[in-house]
Amino acid sequence: MAEQYGFFVDSTRCIKCYACEVACQQWHGIKADTVHRRTVQEECTGTFPDVKRRFTSLSCMHCESPLCVASCPQGAISKREEDGLVVVDKAKCTGDKTCATACPFDVPEFIELEGGGVVMDKCDGCLSLSREADEMPRCVNTCPTKALHFGKLADMAALAKEKGGSQLEGGTVPSVYVAYDA
Amino acid sequence: MVNSFIAWYLFLAGMGGGAFLTGAVVDILLRFSDDPRLERVGAVTDGGLILGPATVVLGAVFLLADLGSPERAFQVFFTPSTSLLTLGSWAIALFCVCSIAALLVGGLVETTVSRVVEAVLHGLATLAACCVILYSGVYLSTFPSVPFLHNPIVPVLFVASALSTGMALLLIFGFVLRDHEDVSEGLSSCARIDLVLLGIEVAALGALLAVSLGSGEAAADSAWALISGDQAGLFWLGVVAVGVAAPIALEVSHLRGADLFTLVVGAGCVSVGGLCLRYALLLAAVRFSAIDMSAVAFWG
């Protein structure tokens, strides 16, 4: 693989405006009340009046060792050589949901096709929108507070380090760095 | 992730694969032995060579019905993949084709060639039947994201249940053909084998619960869901009372002199219990999402 690409989610800047979610849904033409490729997670800790809330915008982790790829009996999911992004070939998917069972991050969702049938749907880094290598995914471009970043994983690690962030933990080695308020 | 289609598939494929495997093993042993006890057992277990494939084919229909896009299912045979599901798909297909072909060839005029072809097909179907009853339990036990089933005891439990429900199917078959003397004589021996299989199943189930209760939180929660939680009714009534206690009591009664009707009721209970076991395990299991460190339903 040439070089792994991934995300850096700067939670210290996220205001939970959902612009990333909306941009993703709109650009990819995903109908309401179906699937979400990107979701803003909210974590609330403490009790009143010392309550802390933090928001983390997450999608597919494009893992270094993705279990979804290994588990798919159809070989419908693959990891790209050029950037390490994990993509699904919907023409091969039978909707058997093995990937959803295997994924430790509960990422794969299933969407109905117009001609019938149900297939897996997840973030593809906007490759299906013909995103060029030097372009950003729509969620990153849309984020009004610049909380989302995309690029070579080494660059994401450097950005995260500046904010005291770290790579998300997991046996599959997620290609996502996150920074939270101290 | 899983639903009634999967529970029925696991039940039918296990029962059919178990019935065929029992019939095939006895059939192979009889080619090298003329033990009269084995011959009596064989008169009953031969039914597995027909009922096994039919039951697995029915199970495969449930498996296909579960797919979101079943019309693409055939692609699994043209796609190189290391997934256990690929192995399982091949095993089911190979089993159905070879077992049915062996029956057809066995019905032809007997020649040296037909005998050899039948033996080869029979051998392939037997190997495939081993895979069919083994892979699903192994598959379910491979996901760390499903802590309750991520346990090496799960494949043991599924295999024991497959063999006992398969034997139950054979006992029901034997009861239907009880007017044949050799069949009725073999039923008691089959009942003894079924009791041993039920014992293994009980031991595996007990070990799974014990290990789960002593392990991580999510697996323990699933075990408690079976013991005293949402699935307790299904577990205690369907799995323990109907699936284990009643058949053991009824089969022991038969061995002590009760009539064949007692035995067939026990076999029916084993079958119902096998289905309840699969429902209960799938309903009690949860998936663990590393995103928000929470458990999400495995069922649905």
Q: Mark yes or no for CB contact A171/B144 under 8 Å.
A: yes
Q: Residue A103: list chain B partners with CB under 8 A.
A: 145
Q: Mark yes or no for CB contact B72/A105 under 8 Å.
A: no
User: Residue B291 has what pLDDT?
Assistant: 74
User: Residue B300 has what pLDDT?
Assistant: 77
**Cα(B177)–Cα(B198) distance, rounded to whole angstroms?**
24
| Tokens 């939970």 sit on residue | A16
Q: Mark yes or no for CB contact A72/B81 under 8 Å.
A: yes
Distance between A75 CA and the closest CA of chain B, angstroms: 6
Greatest Cα pair distance, chain B, in angstroms, is: 66
Q: Mark yes or no for CB contact B143/A101 under 8 Å.
A: yes
Distance between B283 CA and the closest CA of chain A, angstroms: 14
Min mean pLDDT across A106-120, A127-141, B147-161 is at: A106-120
Q: Residue A71: list chain B partners with CB under 8 A.
A: 83-85
Contact yes or no for B165/B48 (Cβ under 8 A): no
**Cα(B84)–Cα(A144) distance, rounded to whole angstroms?**
44
User: Residue A99 has what pLDDT?
Assistant: 95
DSSP B195-229: HHHHHHHHHHHHHHHHHHHTS-HHHHHHHHHHHTS
**Cα(A159)–Cα(A176) distance, rounded to whole angstroms?**
12
Q: Residue A119: list chain B partners with CB under 8 A.
A: 68-69
- ipTM (interface predicted TM): 0.79
The answer to whether residue A1 scores a pLDDT higher than 80 is no
One digit per residue, the tens of pLDDT, for chain B of length 300 reads: 789 999 999 999 999 999 999 999 999 999 898 898 899 999 999 999 999 999 999 999 999 999 998 988 888 888 878 889 999 999 999 999 999 999 999 888 788 898 899 999 999 999 999 999 999 999 999 988 899 999 999 999 999 999 999 999 999 999 999 888 888 889 999 999 999 999 999 999 999 999 999 987 889 999 999 999 999 999 999 999 999 999 999 999 999 988 899 999 999 999 999 999 999 999 999 988 877 777 888 887
* Residue B6, helix vs strand vs coil: helix
Of B2, B70, B80, the CB nearest to A94: B70
Contact yes or no for B204/B156 (Cβ under 8 A): yes
CB atoms inside a 10 Å sphere around CB A52: 10
Tokens matching residue A118: 């149900």
Q: Mark yes or no for CB contact A43/B292 under 8 Å.
A: yes
Nearest chain B residue to A111, by CA: B68
User: Residue B262 has what pLDDT?
Assistant: 95
**Cα(A107)–Cα(B291) distance, rounded to whole angstroms?**
9
**Cα(B196)–Cα(A124) distance, rounded to whole angstroms?**
52
User: How many beta-carbon pairs under 8 angstroms link A with B?
Assistant: 93
Per-residue model confidence as pLDDT tens digits over A34-49: 999 999 999 999 999 9
**Residue B214, C-beta contacts closer than 8 angstroms, at least 6 positions apart:** B220
Q: Mark yes or no for CB contact A94/B79 under 8 Å.
A: no
Decide if domain A5-179 falls under CATH 3.40.630.40.
no
User: Residue B265 has what pLDDT?
Assistant: 97
User: Residue A114 has what pLDDT?
Assistant: 83
Exposure class string for B22-31: b at 16+ Cβ within 10 A, else e:
bbbebbeebe
Domain residues of chain A, as ranges?
5-179
Q: Mark yes or no for CB contact A113/B76 under 8 Å.
A: no
- pTM for this model (two decimals): 0.89
> What average pLDDT does range A52-75 have in this prediction?
94
Nearest chain B residue to A120, by CA: B68
> What average pLDDT does range A150-170 have in this prediction?
96
**Cα(A56)–Cα(A38) distance, rounded to whole angstroms?**
10
User: Residue B19 has what pLDDT?
Assistant: 98
Distance between A36 CA and the closest CA of chain B, angstroms: 14
Per-residue model confidence as pLDDT tens digits over A166-176: 999 999 999 99
User: Residue B72 has what pLDDT?
Assistant: 87
**Cα(B125)–Cα(B118) distance, rounded to whole angstroms?**
10
